[in-house]
Amino acid sequence: MRRVRTALPVALAAGALALAPGLPSATAATGSVRLFSPQPELTMTIHNPGPDQWVDFNPSIYLKAVGARFEIDVRRTSFSDPLHAVATVGGTPRTIPESMLDGWQGIQHAFVLTWRKAGGGRISQTKVDWCPNEGQASPLSPSAASRTVFAWGCGFNPFTRSQRWGVDSGWARQVLSYGIETPDTSKLGNHPTLDVAMRKDLATILRIPASDQVLHLKITVERVTDPVDPPTPEPTPGTAAHSAGSPDTIAPASSESRRAVPRVSTTAPPADALPDLIPLPSFGMSTHHEDTGDYLDFAATVYNGGKGPLVAEGYRRGSEPVMDAYQRFYRGSTLVGTEKVGTMEYDSRPSHQHWHFEDFATYDLWNAKGYRVRTSGKEAFCLAPTDAIDLLLPHAAVNPGNGDLATACGDLSSIWVREVLAAGWGDTYTQERAGQSMDITTLPNGTYYLRITANPAGRLHEVSTSNNISVRKVLISGKAGARTVSVPPVGVIDSEKIYFDQGEAP
């Protein structure tokens, strides 16, 4: 079962912002970052004022990078080291203390929001955490690069190793939009103001001039009563083609005609294009009772710490639910090698219904005496980059959504699939059902070791297989029907607190 992140609530089209960039030439030589609002005068709409009201308000605050890329690099050298963050503005690196970070999730209390009545009296003040990669990113002018290099979102895997956050030169990223906490609306009146201030020590690090550290927004509050039963709009004739599944998003049938099976290289795969599969310690441990059994549930991440993407392609054997799998090697976007690496099989279970690469990882439970007491057997996946694990690796794909090599897991009608795990990225699966989790019904209480082995059959070509096993110490206790599990931290990382506090429900 794949863990799915919550989607960006509001995604504005990049072209929808009418900005007049007017880049100041005085700062262009070294580069700078600036907070700005394209709409300093805003409307807040309170729908159906009263106990069932809802508030429509978007403060629309952006951070723009002028003249140079703005970047914050965060890394953890080992699981026993603290986070180390360096912000680069205009080419000058500056350390951000770990105490300012909200773990891998961004900057703690980055913005202070102060609401005032029309006369100036303060209504409320709140502090807002900030993931610098979370808002909508937009180019400021046609001369900016057409795509952002930064991935969407900050880190959330407890064993993340490095992250890159930032704004490309000539781009802006929304830092506050829908979803901010608004004060008691009965205290707002009709014309409140909102001051948005960056926290002072952060503004100093980012070299934002004092005059730019606070944005002053004038707000008009509008109260409306919506119709009780809004009629469902009838589809307008002629617009159906623009709904989901629009025919113009589906490639013409002719391009999906049977592909020739790739020619296998006669030379060894190029060393400088190899991936490196590395499992992280398992996390998100819990137990559940189902029918007459007790089960150990966990999440497992295998990431690619290598020099090139892991690219596996499947070519179907006629009408069988089997594909021959080939590993392909890329230098940049150039194909530089192909090897045959086993098979892919169609998984017809309801939550899958796509093609799985076989022999990607195995999960085993070992006891304290060194015997393997449980195995989950062969774990097959549709590989995909779910977690940004080590984006400061020299060959990491910072934003793999930018590239042409994307995962396509296919369906029962597929004759070809491609599954990709870009360098720097991990694929996390949670095991939480009978058949996926470990059956611990008859295991005595005690100390165990949960082992994840990547590339267990050694079919995939990679930089090294010496780093293909991770081990997590697991303490099992409780009574039949109510078993419990606990895990000691790994180095300084209390993964369970991080995982469950984030509310990252599987």
Residue 433 binding Zn ion, by CB under 5 A = no
> Among 71, 276, 294, 358, which residue sits at the site for Ca ion (rule: CB under 5 A)?
276
Q: Check: CB of residue 313 under 8 Å from CB of residue 423.
A: no
Q: Of Ca ion, Zn ion, none, which one does residue 277 interact with (CB within 5 to 8 Å by kind)?
A: Ca ion
Of the ranges 324-332, 347-355, 431-439, 455-463, which one interacts with Zn ion (CB under 5 A)?
347-355
Residue 277 binding Ca ion, by CB under 5 A = yes
Q: How far apart are CA 468 and CA 466, in angstroms?
A: 6
Q: Check: CB of residue 177 under 8 Å from CB of residue 60.
A: yes
Q: How far apart are CA 225 and CA 46, in angstroms?
A: 9
Q: How far is CA 127 from the centre of its chain?
A: 24
Residue 34 binding Zn ion, by CB under 5 A = no
Sequence letter at residue 86: V
Q: Of Zn ion, Ca ion, none, which one does residue 352 interact with (CB within 5 to 8 Å by kind)?
A: Zn ion
**Nearer Cβ to Zn ion, position 205 or 380?**
380
Torsion 86-89-93-94 (CA) sign: negative
Residue 207 binding Zn ion, by CB under 5 A = no
Q: How far apart are CA 495 and CA 89, in angstroms?
A: 32
**Nearer Cβ to Ca ion, position 276 or 504?**
276
How many CB atoms lie under 10 A from the CB of residue 130?
23
Q: Of Zn ion, Ca ion, none, which one does residue 353 interact with (CB within 5 to 8 Å by kind)?
A: none
Of the ranges 258-266, 282-290, 373-381, 456-464, which one interacts with Ca ion (CB under 5 A)?
456-464
> Among 352, 378, 395, 473, which residue sits at the site for Zn ion (rule: CB under 5 A)?
352
Q: List the one residue out of 143, 127, 140, 103 whose CA is nearest residue 176.
A: 127
Residue 340 binding Zn ion, by CB under 5 A = no
Q: How far apart are CA 316 and CA 250, in angstroms?
A: 21
Output the smallest distance, CB 227 to Zn ion, in A: 44
Task: Assign 3-class secondary structure to 464-495.
Answer: CCCCCEEEEEEEEEEECCEEEEECCCECCECH
Residue 47 binding Zn ion, by CB under 5 A = no
Q: List the one residue out of 114, 63, 130, 112 whose CA is nearest residue 217.
A: 114
Tokens of 204: 């100093």
Q: Of Ca ion, Zn ion, none, which one does residue 71 interact with (CB within 5 to 8 Å by kind)?
A: none
Of the ranges 61-69, 410-418, 421-429, 467-475, which one interacts with Ca ion (CB under 5 A)?
467-475
Output the smallest distance, CB 10 to Zn ion, in A: 29
Q: Of Zn ion, Ca ion, none, which one does residue 276 interact with (CB within 5 to 8 Å by kind)?
A: Ca ion
H helix or E strand, kind and range, residue 439: strand 438-439
Output the smallest distance, CB 464 to Ca ion, in A: 5
Q: Which residues bind Zn ion (CB under 5 A)?
A: 352, 382
Q: Which residues bind Ca ion (CB under 5 A)?
A: 276-277, 462, 464, 467-468
